[in-house]
Amino acid sequence: EAGVVQSPRYKIIEKKQPVAFWCNPISGHNTLYWYRQNLGQGPELLIRYENEEAVDDSQLPKDRFSAERLKGVDSTLKIQPAELGDSAVYLCASSFDTTNEKLFFGSGTQLSVL
Amino acid sequence: QQPVQSPQAVILREGEDAVINCSSSKALYSVHWYRQKHGEAPVFLMILLKGGEQMRHEKISASFNEKKQQSSLYLTASQLSYSGTYFCGTERSGSARQLTFGSGTQLTVLP
């Protein structure tokens, strides 16, 4: 069974440029999460989807971050414009549902903003 | 609110035991434990539920003290493969699946 797939693996951009990350969750997993992990820290939730609905986006900086999950499968996270402080690893995770379910994480996208 | 993990780092020899603690100031419904190796994705170890039993994953076990809002991860007879950063994730009672991770405990097992 394929795991959670993310791309790109690495991204280097200059500040003020836009950037997008893509995630393909495990087939059949209804819940999808985007986390941001700063160096030496634990993952911080940005947004959680149940199917195509964003049910928790309270931690998403909406002035520059946006996300979508069309058809309740793949998801894209966008930053526009990027700032120096956005440098981090962006992790996507999925679970079958939201009831005591373990999360399956992708390998992440390491973003460096110069 | 982010749970507090201790210690921040631990170094031990293969075969030794270690304990990692996770505590919260809020009432918890569940505690999740994940292990992340450098440059890799976090990998699920176990979930402990309020009112549930102690859990085990290979030679790693964990407990959840509901009264103290604490969980402990016990690594017995550690193996080189146990090296990595261990994160606890806590779900507060009534928080509707909002999992908040601690800052992690870096475990290094030496031969």
Q: pLDDT by residue for chain A (114 residues), tens digit each? A: 679 999 999 999 999 999 999 999 999 999 999 999 999 999 999 999 999 999 889 889 999 999 999 888 999 999 999 999 999 999 999 998 766 678 999 999 999 999
Q: Between B32, B41, B104, which is nearest A106 by CB?
A: B41
Q: Cis ω on the peptide bond leading into residue A8 (within 30° of 0)?
A: yes
What pLDDT score does A35 carry? 96
Q: Does B54 touch chain A (CB under 8 A)?
A: no
Distances (CA, A) of B71 to A79, A103, B3, B44: 36, 19, 10, 16
What pLDDT score does A98 carry? 65
Q: Does A73 touch chain B (CB under 8 A)?
A: no
Which residues of chain B make contact with A45, given a CB cutoff of 8 A?
98-100
Chain A to chain B, count of Cβ pairs less than 8 Å apart?
A: 47
Assigned token pair, B43: 């990998």
Q: CA of A42 to nearest chain B CA: how many angstroms apart?
A: 5
Q: Between B30, B42, B47, which is nearest A105 by CB?
A: B42
Q: pLDDT below 70 — which residues of chain B?
A: 52, 95-97
What pLDDT score does A101 carry? 78
What pLDDT score does B29 carry? 87
Residue B5 neighbours by CB under 8 Å, 6+ apart: B20, B21, B22, B86, B87, B88, B102, B103, B104, B105
Residue A62 neighbours by CB under 8 Å, 6+ apart: none
Which residues of chain B make contact with A24, given a CB cutoff of 8 A?
none
What pLDDT score does A72 carry? 83
Q: Which chain A residue is nearest to residue B45, measuring alpha carbons?
A: A102
**Residue B21, number of CB atoms within 10 A of its CB:** 16
Instruction: Give the tens place of pLDDT for each residue, A73-104.
Output: 999 999 999 999 999 999 999 998 766 678 99
Residue A64 neighbours by CB under 8 Å, 6+ apart: A79, A80, A81, A82, A83
Which residues of chain B make contact with A105, given a CB cutoff of 8 A?
41-43
Q: Does A5 touch chain B (CB under 8 A)?
A: no
Q: H/E/C letters for each residue in A46-58?
A: EEEEECCEEEECC
In the three-class reduction of DSSP (H, G, I as helix; E, B as strand; rest coil), residue A101 is classed as coil
Q: Would the CB atoms of B98 and A45 count as touching at under 8 Å? A: yes
Q: Which chain A residue is nearest to residue B32, measuring alpha carbons?
A: A102
